[in-house]
Amino acid sequence: MTISEILDVIAVSLLFTGIWAQIGTYVMSKVHVIIVQSLLLSAYAIYLGITTSSLDLVILGILTALLRGFLTAYILYRKLPERGNMFRELSKGIPSITILSVILLVISLAIYHEVFFPYTGSNIGGIGFAMMIQGMLLVASRKNKIAQFSGYIEEENAIILLSLGIISLPLIVEISVLLDVLALVIVSAVLISETLETENLPEMIG
C-alpha cells in the first residue's frame, strides 16, 4: 500500500465511525466511538507527520490520542452510572435518525464534491466535511448529554481532518489543544449537572 492509500483507509474508517455514532441508544457505545475515532485521527496525523517530516502533526497526533482518546473518554466513563454498559439514552426516533444520517452523509459528500472539491482538490476534506455534518446531527437530534458531547468531539475531529485534507493550518496544534480544553470544560459541566438528559425547564421556554 502506498502512503496515500494508507491515509485513505484511515480516513474512510473515520467516516464509518461517524455512522457508528448515530446507531443505537447505549451511551457506552458513544464513549467507544470517541475513543476509536480519536485514535484513528491520531494515527492519521502521526503517520502524515512522519511521512512529511512535520513535527507539528506528530505532536497533534499524540495530543489527540492523550486528551481525547484517553482523558476525555475516561472522564465520561466515570460519569456513567453503575452498570454503565446497560445505560441507555431516552432520545426517541433513533432508527429514523440513523437512516437520516446515511442520507445526510451522501448529500454532504455530494455538496462537498460540487462546491469545495473544484477549488480544494482534496477527497479527504470531503470526509471531514461529512463527519462534521454527522457531528452536528448528533448534537441536534439527541437529548442525552454524553451523546451530544460525542457529537461535539466528532465535529472537532472532523475539523482537524478537514484541515489536514485541504491545507495544514499553521496554528493547528494550538487550535486542537484549545478545543480539547473546551471539551474538558464541557465535560466538567456534565460532571456537575444532576441529570444526563437535557431538560425543557419552564423558565427556558418561549
2 vs 204, beta carbon nearer another protein: 204
Q: Which stretch binds another protein (CB under 8 A): 41-49, 50-58, 90-98, 188-196?
A: 188-196
Q: Burial level of 143, CB count in 10 A (0-12/13-18/19+)?
A: middle
In the block, cell 437520516 appears at 100
171 touching another protein, by CB under 8 A:
yes
102 vs 199, beta carbon nearer another protein: 199
89 touching another protein, by CB under 8 A:
no
Comparing CA positions, the residue from 47, 72, 44 lying closest to residue 128 is 44
**46's grid cell:** 502521526
Quote the CA–CA distance of 92 and 110 in Å, as a whole number: 28
Quote the CA–CA distance of 18 and 52 in Å, as a whole number: 27
Contact between residue 24 and residue 97 where contact means Cβ atoms under 8 Å apart: no
- Of 39, 45, 152, 173, the residue at the interface with another protein (CB under 8 A) is 152
DSSP helix/strand/coil, 177: helix
54 touching another protein, by CB under 8 A:
no
- Of 45, 159, 161, 173, the residue at the interface with another protein (CB under 8 A) is 159
79 touching another protein, by CB under 8 A:
no
12 touching another protein, by CB under 8 A:
no
**181's grid cell:** 480544553
Contacts to another protein by CB under 8 A: 115-116, 119-120, 132, 135-136, 139, 145, 148-149, 151-152, 155-156, 158-159, 162-163, 166-167, 169-171, 174-175, 178-179, 181-182, 185-186, 188-190, 192-194, 198-199, 201, 203-204, 206
